[in-house]
A and B are shown apart, each in its own frame.
Chain A
Amino acid sequence: MTTDVIKETSHDDHQNDHHGDHKMTGIKRWLYTTNHKDIGTLYLWFSFIMLLTGGALAMVIRAELFQPGLQIVEPDFFNQLTTVHGLIMVFGAIMPAFTGFANWMLPMMVGAPDMALPRMNNWSFWILPFAFGILLSSFFMESGAPNFGWTFYAPLSTTYSNGSTAFFVFAVHIMGISSIMGAINIVVTIMNMRAPGMTYMKMPLFVWTFFITAYLLIAVMPVLAGVVTMVLTDTYFGTSFFNAAGGGDPVMFQHIFWFFGHPEVYIMILPAFGIVSTIIPAFSRKKLFGYSSMVYATSSIALLSFIVWAHHMFTTGMPLFGELFFMYCTMLIAVPTGVKVFNWVATMWRGSLSFETPMLFSIAFVILFTIGGFSGLMLAMTPVDFQYHDTYFVVAHFHYVLVTGSLFSLYAGAYYWLPKWTGNMYNDALSKWHFWCSLISVNLLFFPMHFLGLAGMPRRIPDYALQFADFNKWVSIGGFAFGLSQLIFLAVVIKCIRGGEKAPAKPWDGAAGLEWTVASPAPYHTFSTPPPQSDIDNADQHSH
């Protein structure tokens, strides 16, 4: 990709000579870059490496669970695997991948020359590898890696910590600072850098979802920073926030954590809504159905996310009123979410559909995310949650929304914009292999987990009762197949960077948006002068 971009800028210099060309070569280019496309690329590669890392941990988990009994790892190490797998996938894979999309696409979509705060942008990326370096290094320490679950419930992470709490807290602090800086950058870019004539309601829905997500991040990442700080001082400095002996309350940990934690799950899915809402209209050759209702639905999901946190805590002994309140508020979220699913289906209705790989991943997203939404509704019902709580049903639920939801949307987006990023078309046959292998294996991996959970198999346990053996074997086979399928994606991307059929400026005939008005690959500097109003109006997907 490096050589391509350099080549491209040299003959695009006439467009942006007043910028000068600050670009350095080799490793320094990537270390010092303030260019949103470079930083986007860094984020995307980093998140993919983290996906493979977290995936490798998951492979060990599934290998251990292939048979009942303990074969490969000790129970304590198993706990470290589940904990670090969760932390890496949430904070290392999904969130940075979306930030990578934001960096690459937002300035181009709003007609801005770059992100608003390019130097901060460099920082927010480059501290991330240190955070995950610290986290992963704890595997090689005497204490071992964090073993208290990615939710680090007190007193598991305080009184009963294996000594990894300091590493964990420090790593989460750095990840939090990185996310907050990234989010501030996104908000400021969208508020101040839009091309003249691009009003808020003319912004692509993609931009809207990232705008709202960034606000969520700014609101809840500081709360996460606060709660990990409390865990740190409880563990090492003798405070008693969560220690009943000193007048604290361990249940309070869960309240504060989930006050962050529930909005966090929308931080990981709202941008996915934005990506899918861009792709489905393009391959349906229709405008997005109900643009403004999509904006309002996204906003109301974001607002509701602040008053539902205790649905993770139904079994902590809440009063009936509390359980009813959090149950109904949670179920209320199904309404705006339903609006979105309806709008995607309505967009496809009587459209001239074609099934390029981005569209395949988007359709799979709509169907499989909806399954995850339904199991979420089941979990929202207090009485039945007592049965599902802490079982594999929960594991099935959040993997349907995060893997076939968030991750599939990321793949959809990656295939959709790869021609713009690299200037080449990806290998279509290979990408279809990636899709179909992933689709089949991911369902083999996660669907039987619903039944395991309903039958009572608890999560985060390295062993299980004999009657769960057959299902677990199939789940593990699905897991290995899904893991291997992701290497196909790596092959597609590398091939696409190296060469392939040259992509035109706009390879998808139904696509809308300012990013398609610039050449492929996108020149190093774009929109040094704002796009003309006619381009903004043409790109405006909901009123052409």
Chain B
Amino acid sequence: MKSDANSKNANNTNSVSTTNNKSVKKLLLVVLAMFGFGFALVPLYDVFCDITGLNGKTNTSAATYDASSIDESRTVRVQFITRNAQGVPWKFEPVQNEIEVHPGEMKFVSFYAKNNANNDIVGQAVPSVSPGRAANYFHKIECFCFTHQPLGAGMDVEMSLQFYVDLELPDDIKTLTLSYTLYDITNKSS
């Protein structure tokens, strides 16, 4: 009777271990899928932010000016601020700190940059709009931030930005802040 129980047990063990192997394979697939999902969150996040303007990111390539009219009944204040990432030895500032625009109206502004270092530096300005909700209503037609900004040692430059504010900008937004952070990307661009 004992040996009976044993052989039954052995059979059992065999079939249990095949089911176990199957379950392990399925679970490993889930693990792999979730590892992939972690990385898939990166493009998903970008798409999501693009649609919602969540992180204040603006368009990264030139928009075309297609406002049908100018809404002169509304005035929106646009402020410009700049910031250097830690350790970037440039002077970088807006020429005008703020301007008033009507939605639909095209405007030019410029930014001044000077490389105070003894070596050539490639800069990259990264824009962001606050409140983030307004990011999708701020259209840059031309911006120095679309490309790299190489500056020789001691050189300076005036860089231009051409933009308009969308007619559809939600009514409660009276002020927009456009912030540029300047990074040193010399190592990455070479």
Q: Which residues of A contact B (CB under 8 A)?
A: 18, 116-117, 159, 180, 184, 187-188, 191-193, 218-227, 230, 238, 241, 244-247, 249, 251-252, 255-256, 259, 317-319, 322, 528-529
Contacts and interface: CB of A to CB of B under 8 A. Distances in A.
Most chain B Cβ neighbours within 10 Å, of A159, A184, A225, A528: A184
A238 B188 contact: yes
B108 interface: no
A218 B34 contact: yes
A318 B56 CA distance: 10
B45 A245 contact: no
Interface residues of B, number: 40
Main secondary structure of the interface of A (DSSP, over half): helix
Interface string B132-150: 1100000000000000000
Contact of A244 (B9, B27, B49, B126): B126
A192 B16 contact: yes
Contacts of A180: 31
A117 B5 contact: no
26 contacts: A18-B6, A117-B20, A180-B31, A184-B24, A184-B27, A184-B31, A188-B27, A191-B23, A192-B20, A218-B27, A218-B31, A223-B34, A223-B37, A223-B38, A224-B38, A225-B38, A238-B188, A244-B126, A245-B183, A246-B185, A249-B55, A249-B57, A252-B45, A259-B41, A317-B132, A319-B52
A116 B42 contact: no
B188 A187 contact: no
A222 B45 contact: no
A255 B49 CA distance: 12
A187 B23 contact: yes
A324 B52 CA distance: 16
Contacts of A223: 34-35, 37-38, 41
A471 to B, nearest CB: 35
A246 B188 contact: yes
Interface string B110-145: 000000000000001010001011000000000000
A220 B55 CA distance: 24
A222 B31 contact: yes
A529 B20 contact: no
B175 interface: no
Contacts of B30: 218-219
B42 A241 contact: yes
Nearest to A188: B23
Contacts of B133: 319
A192 B23 contact: yes
B45 A249 contact: yes
A226 B130 CA distance: 30
For the complex of A and B, list the 6 residue pairs with the smallest distance between their C-beta atoms, beginning with the closest: A226-B38, A245-B183, A222-B35, A222-B34, A223-B38, A188-B23
A139 B45 CA distance: 36
A225 B181 contact: no
Given A18-B9, A226-B39, A188 B34 contact: no
Given A192-B20, A225-B35, A319 B183 contact: no
Contacts of B188: 238, 245-246
